[in-house]
Structure 1
């Protein structure tokens, strides 16, 4: 009797486990559909002809006659190529400058000893409590007074530091045994050489993560570029899309508008798919101490 009861319990446990997995995968599938459907609809609309799209009284979830004409229109009707170039320059320069500031700041807080370091770092972290709207106002006044509106310098300067990234990298640096630093100092190694040869290679996952997140942040930047530039020669892709929607063909030619959005979205999607494992590893490493 006991053996039969145990077998029944085992079979019941197996059925419960299978049922649990079915429910979990069903919910995950449903969530994936909800998340990915807007991207599918954007891509689908971008390959529909202008006439076919306008003739649909009831939206169709497929098309039998896809076309790339909308992508040609997106690049020829507006200066989408210029927007791409501006965004590329802005993203590369901002990310490079920010990584220099973040790496040196995190190293100073993690390894150097100076008077009032803890107080300075606490005050530094308190900056995260300040609403972004207040920061934007002060940055706007500063950049305007420096006569840097409608310049790449005005776009880049307010974005070359990040309290959160400094904190994340500092926590990562502190996981490296301090004995390595002391041994390097005994051998006469300079701080910069130790940082370059030891700390940066060990912290590569976190550094890659910060770099990718900053690239995504710069690529999606909208409020600050919209505020500090009113010259289309300095528009980024996000501002360019808004300009297309308001003053270009966006309101009339929705398929071409969606084509422009697809072109702008693809680089970030590809970047995330390539480095998704490094992003997850870097965040997990940076958030775990000890």
Structure 2
């Protein structure tokens, strides 16, 4: 399939200066979005933006959506990017692009500013639990993402309220009670897009306690039924790690690992972000060696750049 697409793209480039060939017309009539968008990339790389736009425009929106539905997040983002680069306008809804980017999870290493600083136990536990799904790993020396010390504190607040509780016969009774609110808060500084930001997360648990009410046949409840303090802190650290993943999906670092499609797509997003131009990566902006390596890995023709939306 790939060879057929590439051959078709070659025919398109050869014929572009002489009007639409029979092969081009057949390609347009088939309206196969994968074929069309690959060929549009080839036309764009060959310096024929008009042909690229015609090819991309021949991909109906419903078929593009179907193509996205059956593609992994990284590939789906590339289809959106190829269409955008050819049409010079967004082809996929912003919400769809954001959702796909949040699922990208390129492999990233996180670590401290000082290589001698050990990982905090709560962060280590969060990485153990979710690192595989988020594609994160700890690296003390020269990490992709520099994170400061993760601080997690637990607050306990109470206030008076009224609770509706069952009596000895199961009937509901209104009695004075105390509401307990436990909040574990996690925060740490992170370097994102060349700037230091403070990321935060919280995990909360609430419950009621009350004294016995003999006249209403209500037994006392002295202890709130909430997770243990250390468990709440672990949950807050895990929530913080997931927030870090969300932040990095919106602002991936330029030094991301480029050994797979996910990394190249993330690198493309970082180039667009740094340039303030959604077409920068598709225009070939970036370190030439990295861009060329990604073009090869993605199966893009030389000069097509990294087409991300």
Q: TM-score, normalised by structure 2?
A: 0.27
- Kindly indicate whether structure 1 or structure 2 has the higher relative contact order, using CA contacts under 8 Å at least 6 residues apart: 1
Q: TM-score, normalised by structure 1?
A: 0.28
Report which of the two structures shows the higher radius of gyration computed on alpha carbons.
Answer: 2
Structure with higher helix content:
1
